[in-house]
Amino acid sequence: MADATGRQLTGWDAATWRTAASDPHLRSTVVALVLLDGAPSWERLRARVERLTRIVPVLRQRPLRGLFGVSSPRMAVDPDFDLDLHLRRMRLAGDGSWAELLNEARRMSLTDFDRDRPLWELVLIEGLEGGRSALVLKLHHAIADGQATVLIGLNLVELSADPNPDEDSGPDAPDALFAAAHEVSLADIADNVRRGIGAAEQAAETLLNFAKGSVTDPVSTWQSAAETLMSVSRFTAMPDGPLSPLLTQRGTTYRFAGFDLPFNGLRGAAKSRGRSVNDAFMAAVGLGFERYHVRHGMVADELRFNVPISLRGDAGDTSGQAANAVTIARFALPVAGLSVDERMATAHEAVEHWRDEPALRLANPLAEVSWLIPVPVLAQAALASDVTTSNVPGPPIPLYVAGERIVGMYPLVATIGAAANVTMVTYDGSAFVGLAADERAVPDLDALVADLRSGFATVTGEPVGAADPLVEPGAQDGTPKARAVREAG
């Protein structure tokens, strides 16, 4: 019955859907803004997106809800799928500036999905400054995390301005699914019972192993059980409020910004200290936020960071291309008065500590339990976060879409309760940083952007790209845009 009525959202995906649908502070959209060096062929682009929807079936799937509305939706192929409702082209009303482009991406992000259709939208925006264009892809976080978004995009791009050689047309379109509400409800009940039985069997096995261990090796058995319980307690702890004395207000809207920098500088800064790129990234973000507080005459000794930790590749991960395979580590990170070395060290220690937490691998079961917690309580915990950071590795080589070269990839992710979300994607020798900032928490976005750019410049020891990537060349020699200008010259 489950196969005939689609796949039910479970675990982290289901929790994301529920909270995003119930509280506007927790709006959960992922926007990828891709800059192209010209206007792509519309016919080729449309054919590529059509092929993409057959390779990644979730792009043709809509949410199905039962009679009672108490379960998460099921995802099933939309019998009325219409590509033209999800893919469109437009020109901006003004001069095609970076600010105008970001405003359009913001409008898309803050506009809710049609929950009776597949949960995505792709817009080609032509006529930007410098003859460029942009693709703005919007996805619901319940069907894709940041890494899944990159994986989806890789099925859209090409290796040169010409079509990929010997590339097939992809699979046939998946069969549409027709299911009445009562059939969906019965499938939900069957799935819930099946999961309940599975959970009971797992609990019984755990108790049996615990009983055996209590006889054969009582010390380590009880110690392991205590560590797991303490880890779950830390993982589920509800913070009282933000740690920042400045980033205290929250609204239901946010604004976007973005900039780029040479990836070699960031990677080199990390490698020279025996640290990871993520350590250097978090050090730069922390330094930027410290400087933003100083700008306002305040000191934040610590900030509460949310850091997604990927579970892709873990045993039992069946996420495939389009899904969430991630859990969130939430911890206080010192930011005041530290050297760059100390910032990287504290970031490394904090993330590695959470990677070792036993509760990390219980993220999906704990997300299922979250259905017993009222959304306002979950929202209160989310609103107590100061900043979310995420670092997503992207393709290291130049890529093309429908004949035009990609010159920038900016991840723009909803704040989801935090004061700000800073996400980085690497591509073709550059690191592209996207920022979403709550308008009440950060009323002077330009100032925060300047401080973050300054933080990255300090960590890397190199200048950072312009706050407006569409300005005439003058950005780093290592950025795709500057390279393209040199090649054209």
Residue 317: CATH number of its domain: 3.30.559.30
Residue 1 has pLDDT above 70, yes or no: no
What's the pLDDT at 375? 77
What's the pLDDT at 60? 95
Write out pLDDT tens, residues 283-316. 999 999 999 999 999 999 999 999 988 665 544 4
CA triplet 214, 215, 220: central angle to 5 degrees? 45
What's the pLDDT at 144? 78
The reply to whether 295 falls in a domain is yes
Q: Based on the number of CB atoms within 10 Å of its own CB, is 366 exposed (0-12), middle (13-18) or buried (19 or more)?
A: middle
The reply to whether 72 falls in a domain is no
What's the pLDDT at 485? 39
What's the pLDDT at 458? 98
The gap from C-alpha 132 to its chain's centroid, in whole angstroms, comes to 25
Residue 324 has pLDDT above 70, yes or no: no
What's the pLDDT at 319? 41
Residue 260 has pLDDT above 90, yes or no: yes
**What is the C-alpha separation between 60 and 76, in angstroms, rounded?**
8
Range(s) of the domain holding residue 356:
254-395+414-488
The reply to whether 246 falls in a domain is no
Residue 488 has pLDDT above 50, yes or no: no
The percent of residues above 70 in pLDDT, for the chain, comes to 88
The reply to whether 199 falls in a domain is no
The reply to whether 274 falls in a domain is yes
**What is the C-alpha separation between 487 and 167, in angstroms, rounded?**
28
What's the pLDDT at 361? 67
In sequence order, what are the beta bridge partners of 433? 259, 424
What is the helix (H) or strand (E) element at residue 30, kind and residue range? strand 29-36
Taking residues 201-213, report their average pLDDT.
83
The percent of residues above 90 in pLDDT, for the chain, comes to 56
Averaging pLDDT over each range in 76-80, 186-190, 226-230, 305-309, which range is the top one?
A: 76-80
Q: Where would I find the H helices in 217-273?
A: 218-236, 263-271
The reply to whether 215 falls in a domain is no
Residue 370 has pLDDT above 70, yes or no: no
The reply to whether 262 falls in a domain is yes
Q: Based on the number of CB atoms within 10 Å of its own CB, is 283 exposed (0-12), middle (13-18) or buried (19 or more)?
A: buried
What's the pLDDT at 461? 95
What's the mean pLDDT when you consider all of the chain?
86
What's the pLDDT at 409? 95
What's the pLDDT at 487? 39
pTM of the model: 0.88
Residue type for 290, please?
E
Write out pLDDT tens, residues 120-141. 999 999 999 999 999 999 999 8
Residue 179 has pLDDT above 90, yes or no: no
- pLDDT: which is higher, 50 or 380: 50
Write out pLDDT tens, residues 214-227. 888 888 888 877 87
| CA-based nearest residue to 428, from 221, 219, 240, 260 | 260
When pLDDT is cut at 50, 70 and 90, the band that residue 364 belongs to is low
Residue 317 has pLDDT above 70, yes or no: no
The reply to whether 2 falls in a domain is no
Residue type for 312, please?
R
Structural domain count of the chain: 1
| 200 SS3 class | helix
What's the pLDDT at 486? 33
When pLDDT is cut at 50, 70 and 90, the band that residue 480 belongs to is very low
- pLDDT: which is higher, 131 or 364: 131
Write out pLDDT tens, residues 84-118. 999 999 999 999 999 999 999 999 999 989 989 99
Write out pLDDT tens, residues 415-439. 999 999 999 999 999 999 999 999 9
**What is the C-alpha separation between 455 and 464, in angstroms, rounded?**
10
Write out pLDDT tens, residues 149-171. 777 888 899 999 998 887 887 88
Residue 331 has pLDDT above 50, yes or no: yes
| CA-based nearest residue to 302, from 340, 329, 331 | 331
**What is the C-alpha separation between 373 and 19, in angstroms, rounded?**
11
When pLDDT is cut at 50, 70 and 90, the band that residue 253 belongs to is very high
What's the pLDDT at 84? 96
Yes or no: say if 411 and 255 are a contact pair by the CB < 8 Å rule.
Answer: no
Contacts of 401 (CB under 8 A, 6+ apart): 34, 36, 40, 45, 48, 135, 156, 157, 158
What's the pLDDT at 372? 65
What's the pLDDT at 325? 54
Residue type for 166, please?
D
Residue 360 has pLDDT above 70, yes or no: no
Averaging pLDDT over each range in 171-175, 180-184, 412-416, which range is the top one?
A: 412-416
When pLDDT is cut at 50, 70 and 90, the band that residue 174 belongs to is confident
Residue 442 has pLDDT above 90, yes or no: yes
